[in-house]
Amino acid sequence: MAEMVEFELVSPEEVLVTQLVDMVVVPGGDGDYGVLGGHVPMITTVRPGAISVFEENHVIDRIFVTGGFAEVTGERITILVEKAVKVEKLDRAAVEQDIKNFAEDLEDAKTDEEKEAAALKLEIAKAQLQAIQDAAANH
């Protein structure tokens, strides 16, 4: 039997998830990566996207995060995020509307700060839509 890894998902307010799993796939800043028990220690950024949690070679949970940081040890992965929501709770129509709204906000932005804020919101909304599409394709 493969070595399990403890998965912790933490927001500023609370510990959202603590469970032993077979593998966690993380949307890392430099690309997706999987964490199994015995993984080499590292600290990485997490980009907006879905974390996939595996047991027995099957995804048991998909959690959308807006970005953050991950710390990996041989026994544990701790992901610190600002916001997290289960992918199945995302509303596709609302996300598609957000994409339209944030694209308009980006076009209308006058200052660099407004452009940066709108671009980040648009990136997160597009990542949410991708997570919804990926979950639907894998069912």
Residues 76, 110 within the same domain: no
Residues 107, 77 within the same domain: no
Which residue in the block uniquely carries the two structure tokens 């609302």? Answer: 94
Segments forming the whole domain that contains residue 133: 90-137
Work out the number of other CB atoms within 10 angstroms of the CB of residue 133.
11
Residues 82, 94 within the same domain: no
Q: What is the pTM of this model?
A: 0.90
The pLDDT of residue 137: 85
Mean pLDDT of the residues in the chain: 94
8 confidence band (pLDDT: 50, 70, 90): very high
Residues 32, 63 within the same domain: yes
Residues 44, 66 within the same domain: yes
Residues 41, 72 within the same domain: yes
Q: Specify the length of the chain in residues.
A: 139
Residue among 127, 113, 116, 119 nearest 85 (CA): 127
Per the structure, how many domains does the chain have?
2
CA distance 52 to 62: 5
Residues 56, 101 within the same domain: no
